[in-house]
Structure 1
Amino acid sequence: MTERSRRPLAGVLAAMAVSLTGTRISAIALPWFVLVTTGSTARTGLVALCEMAPYVLVKAFTGPLVDRVGPRTVSWVTDVLSALAVTAVGLLHLVDVLSFWLLLLLVAVIGAARGPGDLSKEIMVPEAAARARVPLERAAGLAGVTERLASTVGPAAGGAVVALLGAQTALFAIACCFASGSAVIVVLLPRRRGSTRDDPDGSARPASEGYWRRLGAGFRFLRGDPLLLTVIAMVAVTNLLDAAFATLLLPVWARESGNGPGAIGLANSALGIAAVAGSLVAAAIGHRMRRRPVFFAGFLLAGAPRFLILAVDVPLWAVLGVFALGGFGAGFLNPILGALNFERVPGELRGRVNALGDSLAWSGIPLGGLLAGAAVAAFGLVPVLLAGGAAYFLTTNLTGLRPEWREMDRAKATRHPGGHTPPGGNAPPGEGRTDTAPGGTSGEVEPESTGDLASVRP
């Protein structure tokens, strides 16, 4: 048994914190930089598209590379590349040679680098948790807390830096965040040992296996795991609805209700702070809770109520209360999804499976605002809010009736030789199913039953 060490887990979480904070600051600073330098909303939207499209596409196809080269190397290299690209934007603008098309190219590089960079940090969590002998739910919960904190602090920090020091200075702050994330990974995480991986059946697989065979192995694994496919399909729909809500429905409500843009910030702050609290609770006691009821209760709080409360005429404090309640429920979702994924996907396939799953789950995000805008123009805000709430409720609850979800609560110790739960989750004939934490401590046997493949963006 390897010696217990919390250093890798602390390193992964620290790298996630600084890199994700840089990403969240860039979501404020880059559009504002384009807006103040070009004065064009159309060009600002084009820049946003050039960042997100490469993020999703490159992430989808770099899974085999991450599995082959190793997440540690991919993480620090892509962080350095992101830092160089952001720095280039700032320096080229300082010397007045930054054309708009060159800006689009550099922004595309940033997006393309962030996809595999975020993926690499995500898939380093389970190995770091095993080294620290921390339950997967707790490690996934801590990763969720880190993401929620970055999502709450990053935009606020980005707005403050842009307002006080300007978008130009904010660009260099982003570059420092990415460079810091790279340094943390290099210093705190150990190098990968060896270059040979095992297939799920336990047979040796040479490191020279081709790219397309590696990618195909990820597709085959997903196709053979009904629970993960169901999770991806459900989260793809909820992510589309969340994107429509955040990018269009909430701003339109703020304008039409007379609450103004300040209400958007208050609502998002209430949701973000409560989500951090929920993630902290999930990290502390999530491994002791049954996943399925907690998961669907979280979606029940985080989904439809946000849509429905904006469709009725209520005071702002009531809206903030619903958002806070939804944020608390949302805080439990990604830790459960992360732990579920870490258990079911073998380490040697984690890059490919997570890349494909994340890309599919995020595929509807670019369409959310577009579809919501067309729907509001045709039917008005209130009918679209009601329809969105109904769609969210039906998606999460009807999907939960499918039999695959029973696998979510089955024992976690039944694994293939690669260290993962086999699709279907059943123990081999004649073997018991014991709940075992990464540190090797066994819990009680569960005779009847057993959580980031797809991250939720409420």
Structure 2
Amino acid sequence: MFQPIPLRKQRDYRLLLSARAVSETGAEVTRLAVPLTAATLLGASPAQMGMLTAAASLPYLLIGLQAGAVADRMRRHRPVMIGCELVSAGVIATIPAAWIAGLLTVPWLIAVTFVVGTCSVIFRAFNFPHLAVVVHESQRPQALAGFQSAHSLAVVGGPGLSGLLVQTVTAPFAMLIDAVSFLVSALLIRGIKAPETHTPAPPRGIWTEIREGLRAVVVDPALRALCGSGITINFFGSAYMALFVIYALTVLNLPAGMVGVITACFGVGGLLGALITSRLVKRVGENRMLTCSVLLFPLDFVVAALASGPVWAKFALMSASALISGAAVISFSICFGAITLREAPAELRGRINATMGFAMQGVLALGGLFGGLMGELLGLRPVLWMCAAGVALIMIPTIWLSPLRHSSAQRTR
């Protein structure tokens, strides 16, 4: 029986993981530094701040599907991934340069955010099928757990690093860290030696190929359930996050510092979830881990809606909830990626991943608008109950009534 080399001893995987860890940390610095620059140094209006936020996710709606189709056409993915990192580094570096020259404006920040978001969409479309040539199929859940751990570490440490840099060198210059991180990521990916064995799909017209990706997700029961559940949690999660800060500050009367700690607890939970999932999935399989993790998804909404009493009690309760929810979300994400790689035909992986990204990322804006509107009409706490009910009544049945509830037996293709 074939026994692959442990991941920790695989040079190519270590390079790919290091690239993502460095890039994710830099992205967390910029995620705080860009809005701080816009709000405090450039006097951005609320409408401009909204445009700045939308600019990051808009590329998913504009080119997400096309990027997946192009990725499936390509024999080699690494050159495009490297190019995306280099372009991102270059455009991020224009922010401090423009600030020094007195040319920096909010539209400039919006344009930079849009370009970096576009590169991110393309990178993700190419990185997903590329993972299949770097990591053996039996090790993909562990590999994805490593990526999720890197993301969780970035979520925990990135905001603190960003705050320190903003205080010491100002927000525009803090973004140089992100530019450097993209350069380092490009160099690490360039060092990967695994031969790219992907068989490109024959070109049949971009829209024909996009329809094939859409059809594959809709027709396959497992992929359809994954996509539907992802859309559901992103919609209601976005609605929750649109109100979370104002709810925590004005309704629960939590200090801003405690709100930050609760957010960090989610990242810590993600690290624990990655560790637990990478071990348990070997015993119970990706399907069972995924179906169990979704049972915990309504927890954060319910705890926040029920929170009351002294500040310390509300803080302790929500921190524990964030820790558990972070572990559940990361466990779900790891199994989600592994099952998608397993279920998707090799020639459709890029398009299937892009289709899911298009639907799941595109719905974030709708969820945020829904949360804000319902919060205005009904109040903040009722929206949290709506989010809990939506996840419980839509997402959990979607997964538990699908083939994902059964064995993780792999397909024979």
2:256 counterpart residue number: 261
The one-character-per-residue Cα deviations of 1:320-352 (angstroms, maximum 9, x if unpaired) are 112212222223111111110111112322111
The one-character-per-residue Cα deviations of 1:100-144 (angstroms, maximum 9, x if unpaired) are 4333322211111111113333332232111xx752222222222
With over 3 angstroms needed to count, the CA separation of the structure-2 counterparts of 1:122 and 1:28, relative to structure 1, is farther
2:27 counterpart residue number: 23
- Which residue of 28, 37, 47 corresponds with 2:52? 47
Aligned mates of 1:21, 1:174 — CA distance in 2: 8
What SS does structure 1 have at the residue aligned with 2:196?
A: coil
Count of residue correspondences: 402
With over 3 angstroms needed to count, the CA separation of the structure-2 counterparts of 1:165 and 1:392, relative to structure 1, is same
- Which residue of 304, 308, 315 corresponds with 1:310? 304
What SS does structure 2 have at the residue aligned with 1:97?
A: coil
Q: How high is the sequence identity, in percent, across the aligned residues?
A: 21
Aligned mates of 1:23, 1:272 — CA distance in 2: 15
Task: Indicate if the aligned counterparts of 2:225 and 2:399 stay in contact, CA closer than 8 A.
Answer: no
Aligned mates of 2:150, 2:127 — CA distance in 1: 12
- Which residue of 273, 280, 294 corresponds with 1:278? 273
- Which residue of 273, 292, 296 corresponds with 1:297? 292
- How far does residue 190 in structure 1 lie from its aligned partner after superposition? 3.7
Aligned mates of 1:241, 1:216 — CA distance in 2: 27
Q: Looking at both structures, which has the greater relative contact order when contacts are Cα pairs under 8 Å and sequence separation is at least 6? A: 2
2:78 counterpart residue number: 72
Which structure shows the bigger proportion of residues in helix conformation?
Answer: 2
The one-character-per-residue Cα deviations of 1:244-267 (angstroms, maximum 9, x if unpaired) are 222323432222221122222111
1:163 counterpart residue number: 167
Aligned mates of 2:344, 2:208 — CA distance in 1: 17
With over 3 angstroms needed to count, the CA separation of the structure-2 counterparts of 1:99 and 1:397, relative to structure 1, is closer
1:172 counterpart residue number: 176
Matches within 5 A, 1:19-418: 19-42=23-46, 43-69=48-74, 70-130=76-136, 135-190=139-194, 192-193=196-197, 196-197=199-200, 206=202, 209-301=204-296, 303-312=297-306, 313-314=308-309, 315=313, 316-406=315-405, 409-412=407-410, 414-416=411-413
With over 3 angstroms needed to count, the CA separation of the structure-2 counterparts of 1:223 and 1:387, relative to structure 1, is closer
The one-character-per-residue Cα deviations of 1:268-311 (angstroms, maximum 9, x if unpaired) are 1111101111111212332221444432332222x212112122
Aligned mates of 1:158, 1:28 — CA distance in 2: 7
User: Which amino acid is 1:307 matched to?
Assistant: F
Task: Indicate if the aligned counterparts of 1:50 and 1:104 stay in contact, CA closer than 8 A.
Answer: yes
- How far does residue 56 in structure 1 lie from its aligned partner after superposition? 4.3
What SS does structure 2 have at the residue aligned with 1:135?
A: helix
Aligned mates of 1:6, 1:209 — CA distance in 2: 37
- How far does residue 182 in structure 1 lie from its aligned partner after superposition? 0.9
Task: Indicate if the aligned counterparts of 1:11 and 1:189 stay in contact, CA closer than 8 A.
Answer: no
Give 5+ residue unaligned stretches, structure 1: 198-204, 417-458
TM-score after normalising by structure 2 = 0.90
- How far does residue 61 in structure 1 lie from its aligned partner after superposition? 1.8
Task: Indicate if the aligned counterparts of 1:55 and 1:114 stay in contact, CA closer than 8 A.
Answer: no
User: Which amino acid is 1:129 matched to?
Assistant: V
Aligned mates of 2:286, 2:44 — CA distance in 1: 47
With over 3 angstroms needed to count, the CA separation of the structure-2 counterparts of 1:349 and 1:99, relative to structure 1, is same
The one-character-per-residue Cα deviations of 1:217-241 (angstroms, maximum 9, x if unpaired) are 3223223312111211121011111
Aligned mates of 1:236, 1:305 — CA distance in 2: 18
What SS does structure 2 have at the residue aligned with 1:326?
A: helix
Aligned mates of 1:50, 1:268 — CA distance in 2: 23
Task: Indicate if the aligned counterparts of 1:304 and 1:389 stay in contact, CA closer than 8 A.
Answer: yes
Q: Which moved more, 1:100-109 or 1:335-344?
A: 100-109
With over 3 angstroms needed to count, the CA separation of the structure-2 counterparts of 1:263 and 1:369, relative to structure 1, is farther
The one-character-per-residue Cα deviations of 1:407-445 (angstroms, maximum 9, x if unpaired) are 5x2412x321xxxxxxxxxxxxxxxxxxxxxxxxxxxxx
Aligned mates of 1:134, 1:230 — CA distance in 2: 22
User: Which amino acid is 1:306 matched to?
Assistant: D
The one-character-per-residue Cα deviations of 1:170-193 (angstroms, maximum 9, x if unpaired) are 111111111111111111244535
